[in-house]
Chains A and B, each alone.
Chain A
């Protein structure tokens, strides 16, 4: 046991010799605890047994095998259908009077719900920029395309999460002076 000359306190044998090692261990432990996330590493999802081993066959049966299995008709009746359709079209033109007086269906006759439905379900593959080019924004108000009012807080949240560089917005600062 080591004795301090001035105040008579004692320390265990070898205390100062091992102090550095113990300190480093403690720092490492604290760093590991701080870096450890509380988010679990796995998410608990499972799949049925042998799902992946049967999956390839399932997919191939709906793609390659279904194409190979297409039935080719021995007697191609299809060409007769074209002839019949052409004859029916001629008869229709001759015997249906005043067909041009029938009201034409225009774009404005489409119900809004049908248009909404089309945009929701069709795979348009258009980017926001392409849509912006095709649609004139001059006569459109935000309320025309949104059901709910857009709160300023939502806009700020969106900008906060999605805009890295404020310069990208091309703001005209003279509007704010």
Chain B
């Protein structure tokens, strides 16, 4: 895999930009897709948000200063795009954020791209009850198996607070799955 610094330099030069951007998309498309999908749940919505994320990355790469790692910068854009997308969707439909989350989970039952079992559907219902931050931390740690340091850089939250959030999320989900 091409070194991140080299990739960033190539992305910033007009001559090598096209090829470097293709490498970037191929390297991160699946990881970013699953990150977004676990926030917006629906495949078509995830596809829209992912494409917007890459378009923003492409347009703003010159402004990337390298203070953080490239992947955490892209994860941050993907997270913001996903949350903004949901906010706009709830506004458009005239429902509260909570109502939207519940309807998203209900829609999963008829979603052709969701082949979850009863317990997996129940897990989604449990996740819908969590605050956004806890849900994000849980998804990044449990499903994407990211390290706390990496999550910390994406969400700009201390490792200690992330550990507490993850612990709380696991407890709430387990309780929901047992009792809910």
Contacts and interface: CB of A to CB of B under 8 A. Distances in A.
B170 A59 contact: no
B54 to A, nearest CB: 5
B38 A43 contact: yes
A161 interface: yes
A126 to B, nearest CB: 12
Contact of B21 (A64, A121, A162): A64
A120 B87 contact: yes
Contacts of B58: 63-64
A44 interface: yes
A48 B161 contact: no
Interface residues of B, number: 51
Between A37, A45, A162, the greatest number of chain B beta carbons within 10 A of the residue's beta carbon is seen for: A45
Contacts, number: 96
Contact of A48 (B18, B43, B131): B43
A37 B143 CA distance: 13
Interface residues of A, number: 27
B68 interface: no
Given A46-B114, A161-B134, A59 B25 contact: yes
A42 interface: yes
Contacts of A30: none
Contacts of A58: 51
B97 to A, nearest CB: 12
Contacts of B51: 58-59, 62
A38 interface: yes
A18 B178 CA distance: 38
A-B residue pairs, 7 tightest by C-beta = A44-B116, A44-B120, A63-B58, A59-B54, A64-B18, A46-B113, A56-B25
8 contacts: A39-B174, A44-B121, A45-B114, A51-B47, A55-B25, A55-B33, A59-B51, A60-B25
Given A42-B120, A44-B117, A164-B161, 8 more contacts: A37-B170, A39-B177, A52-B30, A56-B26, A60-B25, A64-B21, A64-B22, A120-B88
Interface of B: 17-18, 21-22, 25-26, 29-30, 33-34, 37-38, 41, 43, 47, 50-51, 54-55, 58, 80, 84, 87-88, 91, 113-117, 119-121, 123-124, 131, 133-134, 142-143, 158, 160-161, 164-165, 168, 170, 173-174, 177-178
